[in-house]
Structure 1
């Protein structure tokens, strides 16, 4: 059975396959992959490194022979495990780094089994070029309304309540695995690579209806270490905003509950102190450490908001000058207040 070839990586095209198989090594897959792809590597990270070393130090022929032996064993393992229950009508799409030896080796065997197998021409690089074209050079054709407000106003919580109401939302912080602030790293959860963040982002954007508005949090151009791609940033920078207003004491109490993982990690908190753009004095740091020792975390949150977060928000607001649709008072620790804010935002956004 001959192999089929495609270069179409649109969501509709990918949906026609029963499985998208990424045969690259686990390390390559972890950095980024086609959304929904399953990693069935024909070479492990260690095997790939070994083959490369033999290629450089011995010969191309020896490296290819060694690689073929690894590939044969690994494909046999996948046939006996991940692919063991696939029926005769199974239709996989297979890709590697650039549509070369690894994907063709796997695809050839799968086609000989009797499955209608397609290879992605150009491999992962074909997919990545599409991502770059759309997120860096394209026009997304989506209209956003931004949920703005000072740190601790409960924007993320209210964004979730909007989604529960059926409002279209884009959770950028969720996609970036970061709460979008200096103290926003999530304990035990590393941020995705920039490429993987963009893949997740494009998948989320493709799921949105261009005829309806999309509510997203107002962010800076970077969320933690991940940059918002230009095509999206252009849309966000011009979008109107709805501002949430809350008393500093209420925001501090909300932050204590929302940042429980950080509070429990003294080393992470100290590292965040060191990253503050305005370096705290020795006396201020001593006072903050005293608050930590006594469990006065709301007082600590208020102090950090006064020094860093609130002035930074005011500077950002003056810099971007996005149109303001409305300002809504909210008590971020009160579910009833959050629900009322979500209802008002849905009306204002026309969602």
Structure 2
């Protein structure tokens, strides 16, 4: 039997060596964020955790520990019955909770007593979170970012995917954020991750990149939907990223938007609710005109008008403010969003990298 305490940095560097990563926190804590690949084995569920906390505050620490110990013992037994029966002697789990205290300690002790070589994360998720925040401040400086700049609907995301298909290193912030980055950018039936989860996903993505090779990324605002891109990464993209301006004719851009946002045709009222948020910027009369067009099914017209009157001016102001040398950046013209065209453009970009 063996129980080993590991620090957050060592655990992060050795994640691939553990056969399982087990999060002993409650389901609501786990939903906010978790270590890469972690499984949730709650030692106390959300209701039990509230109960023990209430007893601790309103009755006594002793009573809280009595009740908590019984609940922990019951829950650990259930996890062992459900999840451990098929584990071989060589199974090596890493266990953690919020601060590396009693919840993960109880589960880790039982697993070590069975005979598994068990590891417990010192400082728990709190220590891991501190590590993620520290790394997100430092990691961006390692990379040579190639920034795809371009107006809404110009095919940047598809070009990024084509670059990945060609073997390029890609950082897809919109995919990590589950959002296309505009007022209409939420993906149907796919909610955005909480901020902490986004940070961890971004941390994983950055750690997987090779600093010796360029990294292609879209130009993004600091906020992608409800999540915020870390300051260090935004500054690195804006101050040191090498830009390429992606251009596409308006009719081709509208065609792409009709493909990417075609789901609004089944729910025009959702579209109308979302663009209510543009009243302050574009005026109620303009927004109501777009809403009438949407309800009438005139999607080509409404997307074309929104591009010209809202997205293009907004983009130009933002890019002029944040990318001071954009005027000198090379331009890549895409005929359309077709696969062959995108793959050819990706090969051209890679030949210049």
**Residue ranges of structure 1 left out of the alignment (5+ in a row):** none
Q: Paired residue for 2:299? A: 297
State whether residues 88 and 115 of structure 1, in contact with CA within 8 Å, keep that contact through their aligned partners in structure 2. Answer: yes
Residues 1:143 and 2:144 aligned together: yes
Residues 1:331 and 2:335 aligned together: yes
Q: TM-score, normalised by structure 1?
A: 0.94
Compute the displacement of 1:193 (Å).
1.2
State whether residues 163 and 169 of structure 1, in contact with CA within 8 Å, keep that contact through their aligned partners in structure 2. Answer: yes
**Residue ranges of structure 2 left out of the alignment (5+ in a row):** none
Q: Which one of the candidate residues 345, 348, 352 is aligned to 1:341?
A: 345
Q: Paired residue for 1:274? A: 276
Residues 1:22 and 2:23 aligned together: yes
Greater Cα shift, 121-130 or 230-239: 230-239
Aligned counterparts of 2:177 and 2:183: Cα–Cα separation in 1: 14
Compute the displacement of 1:274 (Å).
1.8
Residues 1:127 and 2:131 aligned together: no
Compute the displacement of 1:137 (Å).
5.2
Cα 1:178–1:69 change in 2 (3 A) is: same
Structure 1 segments, 4+ long, off by >6 Å, are none
Compute the displacement of 1:333 (Å).
3.4
Q: TM-score, normalised by structure 2?
A: 0.94
Aligned counterparts of 1:277 and 1:309: Cα–Cα separation in 2: 14
Pairs aligned (count): 349
State whether residues 131 and 202 of structure 1, in contact with CA within 8 Å, keep that contact through their aligned partners in structure 2. Answer: yes
Q: Give 1:199-278 correspondences, 5 Å limit.
A: 199-237=200-238, 238-276=240-278, 278=280
Greater Cα shift, 334-343 or 19-28: 334-343
Compute the displacement of 1:276 (Å).
1.7
Residues 1:6 and 2:6 aligned together: yes
Aligned counterparts of 1:148 and 1:251: Cα–Cα separation in 2: 14
Aligned counterparts of 1:289 and 1:138: Cα–Cα separation in 2: 43
Compute the displacement of 1:262 (Å).
3.4
State whether residues 2 and 116 of structure 2, in contact with CA within 8 Å, keep that contact through their aligned partners in structure 1. Answer: no
Q: Name the structure where helix makes up a greater proportion of residues.
A: 2
Aligned counterparts of 1:256 and 1:278: Cα–Cα separation in 2: 25
Aligned counterparts of 1:9 and 1:260: Cα–Cα separation in 2: 44
Deviations 1:266-285 (A, max 9, x none): 33312321222644444433
Aligned counterparts of 1:331 and 1:59: Cα–Cα separation in 2: 71
Q: Give 1:56-75 correspondences, 5 Å limit.
A: 56-75=57-76
Residues 1:47 and 2:48 aligned together: yes
Aligned counterparts of 1:272 and 1:347: Cα–Cα separation in 2: 41
Aligned counterparts of 2:274 and 2:287: Cα–Cα separation in 1: 12
